[in-house]
Amino acid sequence: MSAAVSIIVPCYNVAPYLDKCMESLTLQTLGDLEIISVNDGSGDDTPAILRAWAERDGRIRVVDRENGGLSAARNTGMALAGGEYIGFVDPDDYVEHSMYGRLLEKARRSDADVTACGYTGFSDRDGSILEKWSLSPEEGVEENVQACVFQENAVWSRMAAVAWTKLYKREFLERNGLRFEPRFRQGEDDAFWLMVLAHATRLAVIPDQLYWYRRQRKGAISLAWEEKGCPLPLVADRLLHATAYWKKCGWLESGLERGWVLHALWYYLLVHLVPAHKPLPRLTAGEWAQLHGQFREWFSLVEGTERLQGLDKWETAFCRLLERPAERPGLLSRILWKRLSLRKGRRGRYYALRLLLASCGGKTHS
């Protein structure tokens, strides 16, 4: 008989953290579960530790595969999962013993496609709580996600764009063919969440902080991003992937109408470029050219700025700059742009970006 919950744990060289993680899963108050541990080509003691746990608890299944990244490892686990619901846990984290029992209760009572809880961020260096990386969302249920007009503090916006705080109805994932995109070896959770939202009907969230999220771990991608920020070309790539998916599955028109696409554009891209109080991202000329190409492709997908309702004057100006080919100004225009780029506020920001894009490509305009 299938388990109520399948928990997928993708593992790659995480031997120092596995015992804490696996203990938290085997001691769940919900006994009706299976734990699928995917060894993604680890070169340390990870496989041996996983097998030792499997010998101690028959609910644990160990699957070995060649290294393919986190997304591919999660997809391997999803293909093997037999539970009514699916959850994901990163192996350097751990969970409260009541987590999956609480989530399952809420999911069944709400008949939700996806149910989420809060989380607590803690430092790998000294175990201290990191409030910046913690979340206790307001409780709620969204009964018709596709029909709701975009609004701040909607239930879906309280559910962080991470895979590991959530319980997904397996039938929902299978019916819509939802999987992680293997080419994303970084930032895969955001892309997956944006795909899930295109299909979800009912969402539920509870405020309890039931997941312990390890931060500041040496060698972790999250540490590099905490110090330098997520690479902007990757941010653009995720948005482009999600928008192309929305168009393919027939959801883009609905997303445009209800403001979700505009929200995604702002959250994933414009927030890095428009605010004048933040320095422009430091990218090479090649990276700026790549980013501009991604922007132009994105605007082509949504058929131009005219379809984005709700932008103010300067936001619209930024978008129109980004959706057209880069200019190569003459000497007088360059001098004027340089002077204008020194002004305060969004006008200065606009001309600073215009100069940057012009310097990395474009033809001379007569």
Using pLDDT thresholds of 50, 70 and 90, give the confidence band for residue 282: confident
Q: Which two tokens stand for residue 68?
A: 């393919």
Residue 45, number of CB atoms within 10 A of its CB: 14
Residue 338 in this model has a pLDDT that exceeds 80: yes
Using pLDDT thresholds of 50, 70 and 90, give the confidence band for residue 91: very high
What mean pLDDT is predicted for residues 180-196? Answer: 89
Q: Exposed, middle or buried by CB within 10 Å (0-12, 13-18, 19+), for 168? A: buried
* pLDDT value of residue 259: 83
Q: Which two tokens stand for residue 303?
A: 């058929």
* pLDDT value of residue 20: 98
What mean pLDDT is predicted for residues 261-290? Answer: 89
Nearest CA-CA partner of 172 in 255, 248, 42, 78: 78
CA distance 299 to 302: 5
Q: Using the structure block, give the residue that is written with the tokens 């938290």.
A: 24
Residue 222 in this model has a pLDDT that exceeds 80: no
What mean pLDDT is predicted for residues 217-235? Answer: 66
What mean pLDDT is predicted for residues 68-81? Answer: 96
CB 115 within 8 A of CB 204: yes
* pLDDT value of residue 188: 87
What mean pLDDT is predicted for residues 122-129? Answer: 93
CA distance 131 to 123: 10
CB 147 within 8 A of CB 154: no
DSSP label at residue 360: T
Residue 46 in this model has a pLDDT that exceeds 60: yes
pTM of the model: 0.89
What mean pLDDT is predicted for residues 278-303? Answer: 91
What mean pLDDT is predicted for residues 234-258? Answer: 91
Q: What residues pair up with 166 in beta bridges, in sequence order? A: 116
Q: pLDDT tens digit string along 16-39? A: 999 999 999 999 999 999 999 999
Q: pLDDT tens digit string along 209-220? A: 999 999 977 766
Mean pLDDT over each residue of the chain, to the nearest integer: 91
* pLDDT value of residue 226: 56
CA distance 46 to 145: 40
